[in-house]
Amino acid sequence: MGTELAVSFTGLRFENPFLLASAPPTESESNIVRAFDAGWGGVVTKTIGLHPVVNVAGPKTMFFSATPESSYLSMKKRPGTALHSSWNWELISDKTLDWWVPRIARIKKAYPTRVLVASIMAGSGNDQELANWQTLAKACQDQGADALELNLSCPHMDRQDMGSNIGKDPQLISIVTQAVKEVARVPVWAKLTPSTTDIIVEARGAFLGGADAICSSNTFPSLPLIDPQTLEFEINVDGLVSVGGLGGPAILPLSLAKIAQLTQAFSGKAFSGIGGIADFSHALNYFLLGCGTVQVCTAAMLDQAVGPNVIKRLLSGMTAAMAANGWKSLDDFMGVRRDQVVVHSRIRRQDPDAYHGGYSADGLVAADLPAGAAES
C-alpha cells in the first residue's frame, strides 16, 4: 500500500518500469498481446527494417548452460544445469513494414495505456538510407507507436553502414538520430552496442543528435564453443559460424558497467537498462545505477516465450523491496548507488600511503618515461 510502480520515462507514463526488449518475445501481435495481458508495462517490437532479411539455415538461438560441479559449459541440453547465457545470430524481423503497420495500430487500440515502442533499423551509407529511417519512423508513429527505438546495435551485420557498425561511429549515430528526430513526434531512444571501448563517446553522439534516451545493452559479440569430441562449433551451418550475440545472466555485470559509465557521464538523461535481468534483484541494480526503465529478453524467451512468470516476479519483487525500504516510487531509489562507482585509485588501500595511483612514490608519471618503458 502507498507504493507506486508507475513511472514516467521520456515523457511517457508506464504502469510499471518493466519492458520486453526487442527480440523474439515481441516478434508477433499475439506475443505482444500476451505480454500486455501478463502485465508488462511496455514492449519494444522486434526490430523492423526495409531491407531483405533472410536468416541462417539452422537454429537462430541457443542457450549455454553450466554444470555446477564441473567447469563444463555447453549448449547441449542436459539435466541439472544452470543457465549461463543465450547466444543468437538472428537477424531483425523478417516481417515487412506493411505487415507491422496494421498490427501496431490494432495493438495500440486494444491497449491504449500500455507503451508500445517500435524498434527500427536502416542503413546510413547514403541519403536514401537516412530517408528509410524516416519512412520507418513515420509509419510506426502514424499507427500509434508511443516511442521509437533506433537499433544501432545489431551485432550480426556484414553491412558496414548498419547495426552495431553505426553504433561504433559517433558521427553516424548523430546523423541517424538527427534524421529520425526531424520527423519524430514521439520520443526517440537510441539502443547502443556494448561492443565499443568507450560507450560515453557513442552516447554523446546520440544525445547530440537529439536522442531522448539511451538503451544498453544489446547482446555482446561472441562465438559458440567448439565441442571437444566433434571439434565442431556447437552451433554452425555446414561447419561454419559467425559472430553472434551473447545475452542472459553472463552479461548482467558487463552491461551494468556500461550503464554506470553512462549514468555518471550524463546525469539527468534517461536510460533503459538491458542485459541479464530475470528477477527484481537484477533489475534493482539498473535502477540503483540510474535507469528509469529496464528491458528483458533471454529470461522471457525461456518462460513461455513472453515471460508471464518473469513479470510476475519483477512486480512482486519491486513491491516487496519498496515496502521493505519505505520507498514510495522509483524516484526514491533511482540512481542512489550511481556515485559509488569510482576510479580505482579512489578505493581505500591496504596501505594508503604506499599507493600513488600505480605510479612510483616520487611522482614519476608515465608520460615522463622513455617510449616503451611505461609497460615494463
Ligand X SMILES: Cc1cc2nc3c(=O)[nH]c(=O)nc-3n(C[C@H](O)[C@H](O)[C@H](O)COP(=O)(O)O)c2cc1C
Chain positions contacting ligand X, by CB under 6 A: 21-24, 46-47, 61, 86, 88, 90, 92, 119, 151, 191, 218-219, 247-248, 251, 274-277, 296-299
How far is residue 200's CA from residue 260's CA, in Å, rounded to a whole number?
10
User: Shortest gap between Cβ of 363 and ligand X (angstroms)?
Assistant: 44
Point out which residues pair with 215 in neighbouring strands. 191, 272
User: Shortest gap between Cβ of 74 and ligand X (angstroms)?
Assistant: 18
User: Shortest gap between Cβ of 264 and ligand X (angstroms)?
Assistant: 21
User: Shortest gap between Cβ of 50 and ligand X (angstroms)?
Assistant: 14
- Whose grid coordinates read 571437444? 228
Considering beta carbons, is residue 169 or 327 the nearer one to ligand X? 169
CB 145 within 8 A of CB 100: no
Q: What angle do CA 160, 163, 166 make, to 5 degrees?
A: 65
User: Shortest gap between Cβ of 77 and ligand X (angstroms)?
Assistant: 17
User: Shortest gap between Cβ of 12 and ligand X (angstroms)?
Assistant: 18
Look at residues 113, 91, 100, 85 and name the one whose alpha carbon lies nearest to residue 31: 100
User: Please, which residues have CB within 8 angstroms of residue 373's CB and are 6 or more apart in sequence?
Assistant: none
215 as an active site residue: the answer is no
Considering beta carbons, is residue 246 or 322 the nearer one to ligand X? 246
Considering beta carbons, is residue 292 or 327 the nearer one to ligand X? 292
Considering beta carbons, is residue 256 or 327 the nearer one to ligand X? 256
How far is residue 255's CA from residue 40's CA, in Å, rounded to a whole number?
22
How far is residue 140's CA from residue 134's CA, in Å, rounded to a whole number?
10
Look at residues 310, 308, 314 and name the one whose alpha carbon lies nearest to residue 293: 314
Considering beta carbons, is residue 74 or 298 the nearer one to ligand X? 298
How far from 348 is each of 342, 351, 355, 357, CA to CA, in Å? Answer: 11, 8, 10, 11
CB 44 within 8 A of CB 117: yes
Considering beta carbons, is residue 150 or 179 the nearer one to ligand X? 150
Catalytic-labelled residue, pool 154, 215, 291, 297:
154
| DSSP per residue, 134-150 | HHHHHHHHHTT-SEEEE
**Which residues are designated catalytic?**
154
